[in-house]
Structure 1
Amino acid sequence: MEPPRRRTAIGWWLAAGAVLVALLLLVTWAIRAGTGLSTSGAGRGGQPTTQVCPPGELGTPTPMPVQPADGRVHGGKLSYPELGAPFGPVIPEDQVPFARNAVQQLYVVEADFDGRSDWVAQVMIGDLLAGDGFFSPEDGSRIVVDCVVDRFYGDSTVTRNDVRNAATTIDGHPAWVVESKLSFNVPGLKTKGERLLVAIVSTGPSSSGIFYASIPDTTPQLLEPARQAMAGLRVAG
């Protein structure tokens, strides 16, 4: 059985080939041009008109990254302590446009909310794609959050209120952490808000890792486990 997928009917997925390459080129150009990719503006979902995440089709499934029997979830060079119930088992995540070698744990909050897809609480880690260049954790966090707010909620307006948006270190590596309160009104969905957690970690001279979690307000008991998972991040090698 195919695992439940977050917002599958909203159309933010990118193809694994040409569309993803186009995204990477756009990201690299945006950083070099110094656009900043601000979250202010009149674009869809409260985003600027710059299209950080062009729409695409479902990606091609990739093999499940190896999971050592150490009680941790491994994606790329990052790992976090595996979450227990009600989060499900570790499964691959091959549909996120800004990650690869990614894995996730899910909990279904509203099943089949629109007749086609599930709304879930999600915790995910993996390598962060950076095109043919390298960007700082701050730049990476800005790109990822802009992409999330612009693409995960369809045509609904998203109100974003950052609780934390700051530099830090994770397992001795430079990192940038964002925690945001998001509010929205997606048709057919009882959930009207959620907490977004993003950590971008410099995992090497020219590589980064991503931790991403989205916890709906209708399951507030899952927020602290997600925070603890982010706090427990480690970098391999």
Structure 2
Amino acid sequence: MSAGPGWYPDPGGQRGRFRYWDGHTWSAQTTANPAASLSPAQPPARRPGRGSRAGWWVAGVVALVVLTIVGVFAIRTVARQVVSPTAEPSSSSTATLCPDASEQTAGPQPEGGARVRSGRLSYPRLPAPFSSPKWDSRVPFGRDVQSQDATVETATNGGPSWVAGVLIARLLAGDGFYGPKQGATVVAECITAKFYGDSEVHRGDKKNKALTIDGHDAWIIESHLTFDVPDVRTKGELMIVVVVDVGDGEGGLFYASIPDTSPQFEQPARDALAGLEVSG
């Protein structure tokens, strides 16, 4: 199944903008009024990637358009606002746009293994007080999510109410991704939409750029978030989102969150980031 030519909500995430799909490629041109816009005369040619990567990006674009057609990307009102003063305008993040990870995709980790793995991506396993790797349902679009966290605040029932955490997950073409930059942008916005309840989140990006992870193209978004979540002492934290093109039609996600009240966990998170490897 493929989508016909036409104007569709910008897959790059620009709020209120539409981009033209000619059945094979996206145009460079965008518009705020597709009903009054002519189709671009010469959409840009696809730029081939290394090995099989081009197939992932193109398939991801088509998948995203199909989802648009069936209404997954209908614009809805968000219960609370995410403020990103340094970020480019982007589409609304809703529960529909940011589906939970599926527990059925979580694979077992070797007991006491030196590395935490998800698909082809892995990082050096963090020692205590970080937990053993476990599944996290909140990760948007995540497959085979592997998460380690350390308790920062404890609830009245004795369980953790706020944590520092590091995780990795797989991102597939069918989830609507067509490149590291777009993938990181979508995941970062979904995280701020899902992880903080109805609280308003202010996001200040410190890094938003391309990089290389173990010889593979990647994109990093590093931000400081501020918020006021009821019954949580922490009012801000560091967010690191990295999406890596791991090849074979797949992307890899690295995510870390370090509350301002527990800066001692920032270095382990950065060590995990520095130790990312792509296998196979």
TM-score range, shorter chain: 0.7 to 0.9
2:40 aligned residue: none
Q: What are the ranges of 5 or more consecutive residues in structure 2 without an aligned counterpart?
A: 1-7, 16-76, 84-89
Deviation at 1:117, TM superposition (A): 6.4
Equivalent in 65, 84, 92 of residue 50 of structure 1: 92
Say whether the 8 Å CA contact 2:168–2:254 is kept in structure 1: yes
Say whether the 8 Å CA contact 2:101–2:139 is kept in structure 1: no
Q: What are the ranges of 5 or more consecutive residues in structure 1 without an aligned counterpart?
A: 1-31
Say whether the 8 Å CA contact 2:115–2:123 is kept in structure 1: yes
1:176 aligned residue: 219
SS in 2 for 1:156: coil
RMSD: 3.0
- Residue 161, structure 1, aligned to residue 204, structure 2: yes
Deviates more, 1:45-54 or 1:144-153: 45-54
Alignment of 1:1-237 (within 5 A): 33-38=9-14, 44-46=80-82, 50-54=92-96, 60=103, 63-67=106-110, 71-112=114-155, 118-131=161-174, 134-237=177-280
Deviations 1:139-188 (A, max 9, x none): 00000001011111111111111111110010000000111000000011
Say whether the 8 Å CA contact 2:99–2:140 is kept in structure 1: no
Code of the aligned partner of 1:202:
D
Tell me the TM-score normalized by structure 2: 0.65
Name the structure, 1 or 2, with higher relative contact order (CA <8 Å, separation 6+). 1
Say whether the 8 Å CA contact 1:38–1:142 is kept in structure 2: no
Tell me the TM-score normalized by structure 1: 0.75
Say whether the 8 Å CA contact 2:244–2:251 is kept in structure 1: yes
Q: Supply the distance in 2 between the matched residues of 1:165 and 1:136 (Cα, whole angstroms).
A: 14
Say whether the 8 Å CA contact 1:179–1:197 is kept in structure 2: yes
Say whether the 8 Å CA contact 1:197–1:213 is kept in structure 2: yes
SS in 2 for 1:178: strand
SS in 1 for 2:81: helix
Deviation at 1:50, TM superposition (A): 2.5
Q: Per the alignment, do residues 210 and 188 of structure 1 end up closer, same or farther by CA in structure 2, a change over 3 Å counting?
A: same
Code of the aligned partner of 2:82:
G
Structure (1 or 2) with the larger CA radius of gyration? 2
Q: Per the alignment, do residues 205 and 117 of structure 1 end up closer, same or farther by CA in structure 2, a change over 3 Å counting?
A: same
Deviation at 1:82, TM superposition (A): 1.0
SS in 2 for 1:92: coil
Deviation at 1:207, TM superposition (A): 1.1
Deviations 1:168-216 (A, max 9, x none): 0100000001110000000111000000011100011421000011111
